[in-house]
Structure 1
């Protein structure tokens, strides 16, 4: 009986050790992945961007090894939105792969922080981005990715875009600019209901339709309002 108890105790010790190791591997390196926002920046929204098939495409061949290509408009996309957002890269790739890519992609320093695989949650064999660990108000966070809803634990913050696989005529990043700039300027109290209203739609196309509808309503309102008519006549 004593021997059996010792074996059982040893088994439980080994099991706990393995579980602790798995937990350490599976959980993000910190519950606070980003430092606090400065007081004067607390109104700024955070735009979290995935990397592969979103901003770049990485391709491997036996002859050439790994090669990485920039998505059309990626640099202009980053440079423009850095005026409005705190930009963060959040990818399940390893840092030694990510760093050289971003050194070339972001030569103007538009990206404020880089989060790589060690900042993800490992669940059932897959790495997930956990926006709750960002140390940011979730109402002010958007996660833009070609695989946003499948790889993020907070799909309500997801901004899905079409995956890029070297299509030369791709304009998705530039097409997203009007919507993203609008959100930053309009500054909703909670971005999640805004994103929910676009669920199932192509965001750039739907945003254009809504913008045109709004402009038509405003023109009609002005034409029916005596104040606007008298202002034009004077």
Structure 2
């Protein structure tokens, strides 16, 4: 990230003490599921004090609103994203999007409590959504988000394969979208899988080695989430 304007944006948010959690493409990069993006997306706490700190950070970045809605708490509380473009020389052209509420994701205080904190090579830290929350935030109607969800969970499965925690196993069984890996995970953890199968059809199908049904269940999951996202944005 050192060859881009991203460090300036992240370090400025940190320096101003903004309670913000990196999400979107840049968070995917941190988790090892690379996604090129010149945007920095943040979930933020929409309290008066935190919005004041955010305003200071945006002023330093010389960031201006570039689209509707305007930067007002009313719109943040309704779940809208506010879009900014930076004019600071070290962050020239960088877009910053902030949201206070995400569909299908817990309220900010809970997200903050289980956040992931990264030590960056540039010498500062950045907070991001925890991986399960990042995955949940990407269950949208956008075509590009579903391959990224799959990739995020594949990376988690690969990295934790040799010594997984109970939390990781539960996460994989709930979220794996690669049929072959889901089948493998079910074979490795049959007891845990039987519990999850009561809630997830794809896991139930994997327990019976029904490859076609696994794919059908995964497609149904995606379709259901896409529809929920459409309904959310047309409410």
TM-score bracket, normalised by the shorter chain, equals under 0.3
TM-score, normalised relative to structure 1: 0.24
* Greater share of residues in helix: 2
Which one scores higher on RCO, CA 8 angstroms, separation ≥ 6? 1
Please identify the structure whose Cα radius of gyration is greater.
1
